[in-house]
């Protein structure tokens, strides 16, 4: 089996354009770059798949004539991941547009200080270790009822609350203790 040179060239151009577009500051261009990278990855999996063959069903053909289902499954997975990340990026772009009427990412003070060489990397690392070393009373392990963020209310707590939700409890037979 020979690999089509046209597919390899198209795949490499898609990868190059996708990486170039993702390096821009505009979130829309980042989204376009990510979509180009996703399509390039799908083309890579199509190239790796090899020659098309008979479907991989038991008894249809010999094992040598069957196509490998793994690249097909990986392609479907890549399509789903590309769709999910694209939806997230679209939501991010929409929110950025709502807040600032622009989809460009601007530098903050810390980025500018690092670019100018004014920021001390050791100082930043020390600040991070200080945060880790402090006594962490605010954990997410809610052990006690007093620290639990969720309180389950019932009809005994609030008179206007009706407990009419269906419950799946095993029925007790006569003569059994609770």
DSSP of the chain = ----HHHHHHHHHHHHHHHHHHTSSBHHHHHHHHHHHHHHHHHHHHHHH-S--B---TTTS-TTTBPPHHHHHHHHHHHHHHHHHHHHHHHHHHHHHHHHS--BPPP-HHHHHHHHT-S-HHHHHHHHHHHHHS-----S---SSTT-S-----TTT-TT---------PPPPTT---
The residue that leads in pLDDT, 165 or 89, is: 89
Cα separation, 39 vs 61, whole angstroms: 31
For residue 38, how many other CB atoms are within 10 A of its CB?
A: 19
pLDDT digits (tens, 9 = 90+) for 116-141: 877 665 665 555 555 555 555 555 55
pLDDT digits (tens, 9 = 90+) for 19-75: 999 998 888 999 999 999 999 999 998 888 877 777 767 777 777 777 778 888 889
pTM for the model stands at: 0.58
**Domains of the chain, residue spans:** 5-116
Cα separation, 59 vs 45, whole angstroms: 26
Percent of residues, the chain, with pLDDT higher than 90: 27
Give the pLDDT confidence score for residue 104 in this predicted structure: 79
Res. 79: pLDDT tops 90: yes
pLDDT digits (tens, 9 = 90+) for 4-15: 889 899 999 999
* Alpha-carbon distance values, 75 to 31, 69, 141 (Å): 19, 10, 39
Give the pLDDT confidence score for residue 148 in this predicted structure: 54
Q: Tell me which fold the domain 5-116 belongs to.
A: Helix Hairpins (1.10.287)
Res. 142: pLDDT tops 60: no
């Amino acid at each position: 089996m020979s690999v089509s040179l046209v597919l390899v060239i198209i795949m490499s151009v898609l990868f190059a354009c996708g990486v170039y577009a993702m390096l821009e500051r505009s979130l829309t261009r980042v989204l376009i770059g990510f979509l180009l990278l996703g399509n390039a990855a799908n083309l890579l999996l199509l190239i790796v798949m090899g020659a098309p063959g008979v479907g991989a069903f038991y008894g249809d053909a010999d094992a040598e004539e069957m196509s490998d289902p793994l690249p097909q499954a990986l392609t479907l997975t890549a399509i789903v991941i590309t769709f999910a990340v694209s939806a997230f990026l679209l939501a991010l772009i929409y929110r950025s547009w709502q807040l600032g009427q622009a989809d460009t990412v601007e530098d903050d003070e810390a980025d500018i200080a690092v670019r100018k060489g004014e920021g001390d990397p050791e100082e930043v690392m020390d600040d991070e270790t200080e945060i880790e070393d402090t006594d962490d009373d605010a954990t997410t392990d809610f052990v006690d009822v007093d620290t639990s963020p969720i309180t389950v209310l019932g009809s005994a707590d609030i008179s206007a609350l009706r407990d009419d939700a269906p419950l799946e409890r095993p029925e007790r037979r006569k003569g059994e203790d609770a």
